[in-house]
């Protein structure tokens, strides 16, 4: 059994995971989710496979960043888009997204209104691709776990 004392993430060298009993943030575990999604190329998939109809002229957050923020919020157990206001200054999330401030609740809500049925289908296709990728990896390694 390996015990985690200290490690640095491959996808973001500004983040260290240290198990010394101290508190960092309630959302620090999302750094491991970020690392895993990075290994899958998840952000690249979103950028290349989902085509948003976006007429915004000035924006601080790309559609893919907002989608990832929503995904991370849901994984962390924050079910409402209103949680974005609480989380936009979370230290762990700001480092993960490499931003001074995350998208606010109004920005998240406007994004959700821009999402079309085609976007949902495109996202579903990405999820299916990732499921297939995991099953192929399991079959090629003979790992049933």
What is the per-residue pLDDT across 100-131, written as a single tens digit (0 to 9) for each? 999 999 999 999 999 999 999 999 999 999 99
Give the sign of the dihedral formed by CA 10, CA 15, CA 16, CA 20.
negative
By three-state DSSP, how is residue 95 classified? helix
Length of the chain: 145
CA 32 to the chain's CA centroid:
10
Place 94 in a pLDDT band, splitting at 50, 70 and 90: confident
Query: What is the C-alpha separation between 143 and 145, in angstroms, rounded?
Result: 6
Question: pLDDT tens digits, residue range 68-93?
Answer: 999 999 998 988 888 898 888 888 88
Write out the H or E segment, with its range, that includes residue 1. Answer: none
Query: What is the C-alpha separation between 7 and 4, in angstroms, rounded?
Result: 7
Query: What does pTM read for this prediction?
Result: 0.77
């Amino acid at each position: 059994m390996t015990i985690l004392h200290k490690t640095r993430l491959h996808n973001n060298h500004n983040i260290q995971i240290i198990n010394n009993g101290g508190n960092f943030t309630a959302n620090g575990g999302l750094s491991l989710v970020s690392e895993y999604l990075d290994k899958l190329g998840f952000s690249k998939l979103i950028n290349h496979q989902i085509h948003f109809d976006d007429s915004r002229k000035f924006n601080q957050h790309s559609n893919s960043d907002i989608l990832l923020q929503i995904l991370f919020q849901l994984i962390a157990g924050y079910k409402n888009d209103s949680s974005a206001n609480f989380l936009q200054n979370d230290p762990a999330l700001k480092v993960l997204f490499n931003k001074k401030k995350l998208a606010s609740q109004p920005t998240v809500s406007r994004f959700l209104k821009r999402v079309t049925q085609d976007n949902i289908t495109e996202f579903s296709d990405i999820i299916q691709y990732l499921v297939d990728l995991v099953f192929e990896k399991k079959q090629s390694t003979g790992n049933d776990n």
